[in-house]
Chains A and B, each alone.
Chain A
Amino acid sequence: MRDQRPGVGIPRLGAAAAAALGVAFALVFFYAPIEADQGFVQKIFYLHVPLGIVSLTGFVAGGILAVQFLRTGDRAWDLRSYVAIHLSLILSVAVLATGSIWARGSWGHWWLWNEPMLVSFLVVFLLYCCYQPLRFAIEDPDRQARAAAVFAVMAGAFVPLNFVAVRMASAVAHPRVLGATGGSMPGPMRMTFLVSLLAMGMTFLAMYRLETARKTAAMELKRLRRELDAAAPEPRSDSRSRGAPDARIAAA
Protein backbone atom coordinates (compact mmCIF):
# COMPACT_ATOMS: atom_id res chain seq x y z
CA MET A 1 0.00 0.00 0.00
CA ARG A 2 1.25 3.49 -0.85
CA ASP A 3 2.49 5.65 2.03
CA GLN A 4 0.41 8.84 2.12
CA ARG A 5 2.43 10.69 4.78
CA PRO A 6 3.63 14.11 3.59
CA GLY A 7 7.33 14.14 2.83
CA VAL A 8 7.66 10.46 1.97
CA GLY A 9 9.61 9.97 -1.26
CA ILE A 10 10.77 13.58 -1.52
CA PRO A 11 14.51 12.81 -1.11
CA ARG A 12 14.25 10.17 -3.84
CA LEU A 13 12.35 12.51 -6.15
CA GLY A 14 14.79 15.32 -5.40
CA ALA A 15 17.75 13.07 -6.19
CA ALA A 16 16.11 11.96 -9.46
CA ALA A 17 15.43 15.58 -10.40
CA ALA A 18 19.03 16.56 -9.60
CA ALA A 19 20.33 13.65 -11.69
CA ALA A 20 18.01 14.62 -14.56
CA LEU A 21 19.23 18.21 -14.39
CA GLY A 22 22.83 16.95 -14.42
CA VAL A 23 22.16 14.84 -17.52
CA ALA A 24 20.34 17.73 -19.21
CA PHE A 25 23.17 20.20 -18.57
CA ALA A 26 25.75 17.64 -19.72
CA LEU A 27 23.81 17.26 -22.97
CA VAL A 28 23.57 21.05 -23.31
CA PHE A 29 27.30 21.62 -23.03
CA PHE A 30 28.78 18.39 -24.45
CA TYR A 31 26.24 17.03 -26.92
CA ALA A 32 24.03 19.74 -28.43
CA PRO A 33 25.76 21.48 -31.33
CA ILE A 34 26.59 25.17 -31.30
CA GLU A 35 23.82 27.01 -33.10
CA ALA A 36 25.03 28.55 -36.36
CA ASP A 37 23.31 31.92 -36.03
CA GLN A 38 23.65 32.84 -32.34
CA GLY A 39 26.63 30.75 -31.37
CA PHE A 40 27.34 29.69 -27.79
CA VAL A 41 24.87 32.12 -26.21
CA GLN A 42 22.02 29.99 -27.59
CA LYS A 43 22.81 27.46 -24.81
CA ILE A 44 20.56 29.63 -22.60
CA PHE A 45 17.65 28.37 -24.70
CA TYR A 46 17.83 24.94 -23.00
CA LEU A 47 17.31 26.59 -19.62
CA HIS A 48 15.04 29.52 -20.42
CA VAL A 49 12.41 27.77 -22.55
CA PRO A 50 11.84 24.72 -20.29
CA LEU A 51 11.63 27.09 -17.31
CA GLY A 52 9.02 29.16 -19.15
CA ILE A 53 6.97 26.11 -20.18
CA VAL A 54 7.05 24.61 -16.68
CA SER A 55 6.13 27.86 -14.94
CA LEU A 56 3.21 28.56 -17.31
CA THR A 57 2.04 24.95 -16.92
CA GLY A 58 2.24 25.42 -13.15
CA PHE A 59 -0.01 28.48 -13.36
CA VAL A 60 -2.56 26.53 -15.40
CA ALA A 61 -2.28 23.58 -12.99
CA GLY A 62 -2.93 26.00 -10.12
CA GLY A 63 -6.18 26.99 -11.84
CA ILE A 64 -7.23 23.38 -12.39
CA LEU A 65 -6.48 22.50 -8.75
CA ALA A 66 -8.50 25.55 -7.69
CA VAL A 67 -11.45 24.26 -9.73
CA GLN A 68 -11.16 21.02 -7.75
CA PHE A 69 -11.25 23.02 -4.52
CA LEU A 70 -14.35 24.94 -5.64
CA ARG A 71 -16.04 21.67 -6.61
CA THR A 72 -15.23 19.69 -3.48
CA GLY A 73 -14.52 22.29 -0.79
CA ASP A 74 -11.54 20.16 0.30
CA ARG A 75 -8.77 22.38 1.67
CA ALA A 76 -6.09 20.03 0.34
CA TRP A 77 -6.90 21.22 -3.21
CA ASP A 78 -6.56 24.84 -2.12
CA LEU A 79 -3.16 24.05 -0.66
CA ARG A 80 -2.08 22.30 -3.87
CA SER A 81 -3.26 25.23 -5.98
CA TYR A 82 -1.44 27.71 -3.75
CA VAL A 83 1.83 25.74 -3.90
CA ALA A 84 1.67 25.32 -7.70
CA ILE A 85 1.18 29.06 -8.18
CA HIS A 86 3.81 30.00 -5.61
CA LEU A 87 6.41 27.79 -7.30
CA SER A 88 5.49 29.00 -10.77
CA LEU A 89 5.94 32.56 -9.59
CA ILE A 90 9.43 31.77 -8.29
CA LEU A 91 10.36 30.05 -11.57
CA SER A 92 8.93 33.02 -13.49
CA VAL A 93 11.52 35.25 -11.86
CA ALA A 94 14.19 32.92 -13.26
CA VAL A 95 12.45 32.96 -16.68
CA LEU A 96 12.50 36.74 -16.79
CA ALA A 97 16.10 36.94 -15.60
CA THR A 98 17.48 34.28 -17.97
CA GLY A 99 15.43 35.70 -20.86
CA SER A 100 16.78 39.15 -20.21
CA ILE A 101 20.37 37.88 -20.10
CA TRP A 102 19.83 35.95 -23.33
CA ALA A 103 18.24 39.00 -24.98
CA ARG A 104 21.23 41.11 -24.03
CA GLY A 105 23.67 38.55 -25.41
CA SER A 106 21.68 37.83 -28.55
CA TRP A 107 19.95 41.10 -29.48
CA GLY A 108 22.02 43.61 -27.55
CA HIS A 109 19.05 44.71 -25.39
CA TRP A 110 18.00 43.65 -21.90
CA TRP A 111 14.34 44.10 -22.80
CA LEU A 112 12.22 44.91 -25.88
CA TRP A 113 8.89 46.53 -25.12
CA ASN A 114 7.57 45.95 -28.66
CA GLU A 115 8.05 42.16 -28.47
CA PRO A 116 4.68 40.48 -27.69
CA MET A 117 6.21 37.33 -26.15
CA LEU A 118 8.24 39.26 -23.59
CA VAL A 119 5.54 41.71 -22.63
CA SER A 120 2.85 39.03 -22.42
CA PHE A 121 4.98 36.95 -20.05
CA LEU A 122 5.59 40.02 -17.94
CA VAL A 123 1.82 40.65 -17.83
CA VAL A 124 1.22 37.07 -16.67
CA PHE A 125 3.96 37.43 -14.05
CA LEU A 126 2.54 40.72 -12.73
CA LEU A 127 -0.95 39.23 -12.70
CA TYR A 128 0.20 36.38 -10.47
CA CYS A 129 2.15 38.80 -8.28
CA CYS A 130 -1.32 39.95 -7.12
CA TYR A 131 -2.27 36.44 -5.99
CA GLN A 132 -0.53 36.42 -2.62
CA PRO A 133 -1.46 39.98 -1.57
CA LEU A 134 -5.07 39.18 -2.49
CA ARG A 135 -4.99 35.90 -0.62
CA PHE A 136 -3.43 37.16 2.59
CA ALA A 137 -5.45 40.37 2.65
CA ILE A 138 -8.48 38.26 3.59
CA GLU A 139 -8.64 37.17 7.23
CA ASP A 140 -11.45 34.64 7.11
CA PRO A 141 -9.93 31.28 5.99
CA ASP A 142 -13.00 30.19 4.01
CA ARG A 143 -13.31 33.45 2.15
CA GLN A 144 -9.56 33.53 1.64
CA ALA A 145 -9.53 30.09 0.02
CA ARG A 146 -12.56 30.84 -2.17
CA ALA A 147 -11.25 34.21 -3.37
CA ALA A 148 -7.83 32.73 -4.09
CA ALA A 149 -9.42 29.84 -6.00
CA VAL A 150 -11.54 32.18 -8.13
CA PHE A 151 -8.45 34.25 -8.89
CA ALA A 152 -6.45 31.11 -9.75
CA VAL A 153 -9.18 29.87 -12.11
CA MET A 154 -9.53 33.21 -13.92
CA ALA A 155 -5.79 33.78 -14.19
CA GLY A 156 -5.19 30.15 -15.14
CA ALA A 157 -7.66 30.50 -18.01
CA PHE A 158 -5.92 33.70 -19.08
CA VAL A 159 -2.53 31.96 -19.51
CA PRO A 160 -3.39 29.73 -22.54
CA LEU A 161 -5.52 32.50 -24.08
CA ASN A 162 -2.59 34.84 -23.75
CA PHE A 163 -0.27 32.22 -25.25
CA VAL A 164 -2.54 31.75 -28.30
CA ALA A 165 -2.90 35.51 -28.77
CA VAL A 166 0.86 35.94 -28.75
CA ARG A 167 1.29 33.11 -31.23
CA MET A 168 -1.08 34.91 -33.57
CA ALA A 169 0.79 38.19 -33.25
CA SER A 170 3.72 38.89 -35.50
CA ALA A 171 7.06 38.32 -33.80
CA VAL A 172 9.58 41.11 -33.70
CA ALA A 173 12.65 39.33 -32.39
CA HIS A 174 11.65 36.49 -30.08
CA PRO A 175 11.71 33.08 -31.86
CA ARG A 176 8.72 30.73 -31.76
CA VAL A 177 10.03 27.41 -30.50
CA LEU A 178 6.99 25.14 -30.54
CA GLY A 179 5.66 25.32 -34.08
CA ALA A 180 2.77 23.33 -35.53
CA THR A 181 5.34 21.18 -37.30
CA GLY A 182 7.18 20.43 -34.07
CA GLY A 183 9.77 23.15 -34.50
CA SER A 184 12.74 23.23 -36.77
CA MET A 185 15.43 22.00 -34.39
CA PRO A 186 17.81 19.31 -35.57
CA GLY A 187 17.76 15.95 -33.74
CA PRO A 188 20.47 16.50 -31.07
CA MET A 189 19.11 19.94 -30.21
CA ARG A 190 15.57 18.63 -29.95
CA MET A 191 16.63 15.72 -27.77
CA THR A 192 18.61 18.03 -25.48
CA PHE A 193 15.64 20.35 -25.26
CA LEU A 194 13.25 17.51 -24.40
CA VAL A 195 15.59 16.14 -21.71
CA SER A 196 15.92 19.65 -20.26
CA LEU A 197 12.14 20.01 -20.27
CA LEU A 198 11.75 16.67 -18.49
CA ALA A 199 14.42 17.59 -15.92
CA MET A 200 12.74 20.94 -15.27
CA GLY A 201 9.37 19.22 -14.86
CA MET A 202 10.88 16.78 -12.35
CA THR A 203 12.50 19.67 -10.48
CA PHE A 204 9.17 21.46 -10.27
CA LEU A 205 7.52 18.28 -9.00
CA ALA A 206 10.19 17.78 -6.31
CA MET A 207 9.84 21.41 -5.18
CA TYR A 208 6.06 21.04 -5.19
CA ARG A 209 6.19 17.92 -3.01
CA LEU A 210 8.66 19.57 -0.62
CA GLU A 211 6.55 22.70 -0.17
CA THR A 212 3.31 20.75 0.14
CA ALA A 213 4.89 18.58 2.85
CA ARG A 214 6.07 21.67 4.72
CA LYS A 215 2.66 23.34 4.57
CA THR A 216 0.88 20.16 5.61
CA ALA A 217 3.24 19.70 8.56
CA ALA A 218 2.79 23.36 9.59
CA MET A 219 -0.99 22.94 9.52
CA GLU A 220 -0.78 19.79 11.63
CA LEU A 221 1.42 21.68 14.07
CA LYS A 222 -1.20 24.40 14.49
CA ARG A 223 -3.94 21.79 14.93
CA LEU A 224 -1.94 20.06 17.66
CA ARG A 225 -1.29 23.39 19.39
CA ARG A 226 -5.00 24.11 19.48
CA GLU A 227 -5.71 20.62 20.78
CA LEU A 228 -3.11 21.10 23.48
CA ASP A 229 -4.54 24.50 24.41
CA ALA A 230 -7.97 22.94 24.74
CA ALA A 231 -6.65 20.09 26.88
CA ALA A 232 -4.45 22.17 29.18
CA PRO A 233 -6.27 24.41 31.72
CA GLU A 234 -3.57 27.12 31.82
CA PRO A 235 -3.14 29.36 28.76
CA ARG A 236 -0.09 28.87 26.51
CA SER A 237 1.02 32.33 25.54
CA ASP A 238 3.63 31.13 23.01
CA SER A 239 1.14 29.16 20.93
CA ARG A 240 -1.58 31.82 21.02
CA SER A 241 0.80 34.45 19.74
CA ARG A 242 1.54 32.36 16.65
CA GLY A 243 -1.85 33.18 15.33
CA ALA A 244 -3.56 31.84 12.25
CA PRO A 245 -6.10 29.03 12.33
CA ASP A 246 -4.80 25.75 10.96
CA ALA A 247 -7.09 25.72 7.94
CA ARG A 248 -5.50 28.86 6.64
CA ILE A 249 -2.32 28.65 4.59
CA ALA A 250 0.44 30.50 6.41
CA ALA A 251 2.03 33.37 4.54
CA ALA A 252 5.57 32.30 5.45
Chain B
Amino acid sequence: MPALPLHEAGAYVAAAYAVFATVLVAYVAIMTRHVSRVRHDLHELRDELARTRRG
Protein backbone atom coordinates (compact mmCIF):
# COMPACT_ATOMS: atom_id res chain seq x y z
CA MET B 1 0.00 0.00 0.00
CA PRO B 2 1.48 3.38 -0.91
CA ALA B 3 2.28 5.77 1.91
CA LEU B 4 -0.42 8.27 2.85
CA PRO B 5 0.25 11.93 2.05
CA LEU B 6 1.65 13.80 5.04
CA HIS B 7 -1.47 15.87 5.78
CA GLU B 8 -3.58 12.73 5.98
CA ALA B 9 -1.03 10.58 7.83
CA GLY B 10 -0.37 13.44 10.24
CA ALA B 11 -3.99 13.37 11.41
CA TYR B 12 -3.75 9.67 12.29
CA VAL B 13 -0.42 10.13 14.07
CA ALA B 14 -1.76 13.13 16.00
CA ALA B 15 -4.89 11.18 16.96
CA ALA B 16 -2.87 8.21 18.24
CA TYR B 17 -0.55 10.38 20.35
CA ALA B 18 -3.52 12.42 21.60
CA VAL B 19 -5.23 9.22 22.79
CA PHE B 20 -2.14 8.31 24.79
CA ALA B 21 -1.78 11.82 26.22
CA THR B 22 -5.46 11.88 27.21
CA VAL B 23 -5.26 8.52 28.97
CA LEU B 24 -2.09 9.54 30.79
CA VAL B 25 -3.27 13.00 31.84
CA ALA B 26 -6.68 11.71 32.96
CA TYR B 27 -5.09 8.94 35.00
CA VAL B 28 -2.56 11.21 36.68
CA ALA B 29 -5.21 13.86 37.41
CA ILE B 30 -7.59 11.32 38.98
CA MET B 31 -4.83 9.70 41.01
CA THR B 32 -3.39 13.00 42.22
CA ARG B 33 -6.85 14.14 43.35
CA HIS B 34 -7.41 10.86 45.20
CA VAL B 35 -3.99 10.98 46.85
CA SER B 36 -4.46 14.54 48.10
CA ARG B 37 -7.95 13.73 49.42
CA VAL B 38 -6.69 10.64 51.26
CA ARG B 39 -3.72 12.56 52.66
CA HIS B 40 -6.03 15.30 53.92
CA ASP B 41 -8.38 12.78 55.58
CA LEU B 42 -5.41 10.96 57.05
CA HIS B 43 -4.02 14.13 58.56
CA GLU B 44 -7.40 14.98 60.13
CA LEU B 45 -7.82 11.50 61.52
CA ARG B 46 -4.34 11.41 63.01
CA ASP B 47 -5.07 14.66 64.85
CA GLU B 48 -8.42 13.35 66.06
CA LEU B 49 -6.83 10.12 67.21
CA ALA B 50 -4.14 11.99 69.11
CA ARG B 51 -6.82 14.11 70.82
CA THR B 52 -8.83 10.99 71.76
CA ARG B 53 -5.74 9.30 73.21
CA ARG B 54 -4.95 12.36 75.32
CA GLY B 55 -8.50 12.09 76.66
Contacts and interface: CB of A to CB of B under 8 A. Distances in A.
B39 to A, nearest CB: 6
A217 B1 contact: no
Given A214-B31, A228-B49, A102 B16 contact: yes
> Is chain A's binding surface mostly helix, strand, loop or mixed?
helix
A210 interface: yes
A218 B38 contact: yes
Q: For this complex, into which size category does the number of interface residues on chain A fall?
A: 35 or more
A41 B7 CA distance: 10
A118 B51 CA distance: 58
Contacts of B35: 7, 210, 213-214, 217
Given A39-B9, A213-B35, A228-B45, A51 B20 contact: yes
Interface stretch (A62-70, A91-99, A183-191): A91-99
Given A214-B31, A220-B42, 8 more contacts: A7-B35, A36-B3, A39-B6, A93-B23, A101-B12, A107-B1, A213-B35, A214-B34
